[in-house]
Copies of this chain bind each other. A is one copy, B any other.
Amino acid sequence: MTPLEQIPTADDLRATLERIAPYIHNTPVFHSKRFNERAGSHCFFKGEHLQKTGAFKARGAMNAVLVHQKIARGKGFVTHSSGNHGAALAWAASNIGEKAHIVMPSNAPKAKIEAVQSYGGIIEFCTPTLAAREQTAQAVKEKTGAIFIHPYDNYDIIAGQATATMELLDEHPDLKYLLVPVGGGGLLSGAALANAYFGAATVIGCEPTNAADAHESFNSGRWVPVTSADTIADGLRTSLGTRNFPIIQSHVEEIILVTEAEITEAWHYVLARLKQFIEPSAAVGVAACLKKSMSGKTGILLCGGNMDTLKWPLR
Contacts and interface: CB of A to CB of B under 8 A. Distances in A.
Interface of A: 28, 34, 49-50, 54, 118, 268, 271-272, 275-278, 305, 309-310, 312, 314-315
A34 B118 contact: yes
Contacts of A312: 310, 312
21 contacts: A28-B28, A34-B118, A49-B275, A50-B275, A54-B275, A268-B309, A268-B310, A271-B277, A271-B309, A272-B309, A275-B276, A275-B277, A275-B278, A275-B305, A276-B276, A276-B277, A277-B277, A310-B312, A310-B314, A310-B315, A312-B312
Nearest to A118: B34
A69 B248 CA distance: 56
Question: Which 8 A-B pairs give the minimum distances between C-beta atoms?
Answer: A275-B305, A275-B277, A271-B309, A268-B309, A271-B277, A49-B275, A272-B309, A277-B277
Given A268-B309, A268-B310, A312-B312, 17 more contacts: A28-B28, A34-B118, A49-B275, A50-B275, A271-B277, A271-B309, A272-B309, A275-B276, A275-B277, A275-B278, A275-B305, A276-B276, A276-B277, A277-B277, A310-B312, A310-B314, A310-B315
Contacts of A277: 271, 275-277
Nearest to A314: B310
Nearest to A278: B275
A183 B160 CA distance: 47
Contacts of A271: 277, 309
A272 B306 CA distance: 7
Nearest to A272: B309
A198 B37 CA distance: 39
A109 to B, nearest CB: 13
Nearest to A37: B118
Contacts of A28: 28
Contacts of A118: 34
